[in-house]
Structures are given as structure tokens and as C-alpha cells.
Structure 1
Amino acid sequence: MHDQPNNPLHGVTLEQIVTRLADHYGWETLARKININCFKNDPSVKSSLKFLRKTPWARTEVENLYIATFAI
């Protein structure tokens, strides 16, 4: 495995990303920032992970919001 010093998400799991964003914004605000159903309808970390792992464009949006929010 290669070190990725320039990758701001290196070592951060998708679960950590979703959990931290949900804690920071709350599900309602998160759904306004990223318009996906898993944040709107009965949101949970588990349902969000299931959707995001199958939907690359949505995962990219969530990762980009994480980077922008926490400026890592």
C-alpha cells in the first residue's frame, strides 16, 4: 500500500465521514446541502453507507463536502 500524503481522505473511512457530517450539520441540513434521499427519508448512517457505496457521484459529493467543511 502506498502512502497518500496529498490525499486529505487518507485513513478516513466513509462511515467516519458520514457520521462526522451528520453530527456537524444534522440530517436535515445535510439533505439540503446534498440532495439525496438517504439523507432525507429516515436517515441513518447505515442506510447512507449502503447507498453511497453503490453511488460514486453521491459519494464524491459527500467526500467533497467533508473536505470543504473540515478543511483537512
Structure 2
Amino acid sequence: MSSNDPLHGMTLAKILEALVAHYGWEGLGSRIDIRCFTSDPSIKSSLTFLRKTPWAREKVEALYIEMTRRG
């Protein structure tokens, strides 16, 4: 990974916390329609799901990169 990779040094937990802080659970669920964001969401349950589900993790990482590029 290069140092200008926005995911460099970021854990999945930090990425998820940043997205929730920025968009809120409702905003996150409207952007990525997965149940762990729309039905009784929590960091812990979402991390469990994302760690087992590569396509969902990729969507979360892509949204994080988009968010950081917008500023």
C-alpha cells in the first residue's frame, strides 16, 4: 500500500466509526442497503457482518474513500 492510500493504517472499526459519525446510521443505510445498517444497527454487529462479507466490506471501504476525497 502506498502512503497516499486513504485506507492505509485504518482498521475496519475506525472506518465504520468515521462513516457513522459523518452520515449517521440512517444515512449509511441509505447509501449501502444492508440490514446491519438499517435494522437495530451497532458497530459490533456491523463489524461482525463486514468481516465475514467481502462485498459489503468493499462497499464500506469505497464509501469511506469517497467521503475522505470530498473533504
Same fold (TM > 0.5): yes
**Structure 2, unpaired ranges of 5+:** none
Counterpart position of 1:43:
41
TM-score by length of 1: 0.90
Letter of the structure 1 residue corresponding to residue 42 of structure 2: S
Please list the CA deviations of residues 17-68 of structure 1 after superposition, one character each: whole Å capped at 9, or x if unmatched: 0001001101011000000000011101000000000000000000000000
Matches within 5 A, 1:1-72: 4-71=2-69
Letter of the structure 2 residue corresponding to residue 69 of structure 1: M
Asked which structure has the greater CA Rg, the reply is 1
Structure 1's consecutive aligned runs of 4 or more residues displaced over 4 angstroms after TM superposition are none
Letter of the structure 1 residue corresponding to residue 54 of structure 2: P
TM-score by length of 2: 0.91
Alpha-carbon distance between aligned partners in 2 of 1:19 and 1:53, rounded to the nearest angstrom: 15
Q: Give the superposition deviation at 1:7.
A: 2.7
Number of residues paired by the alignment? 70
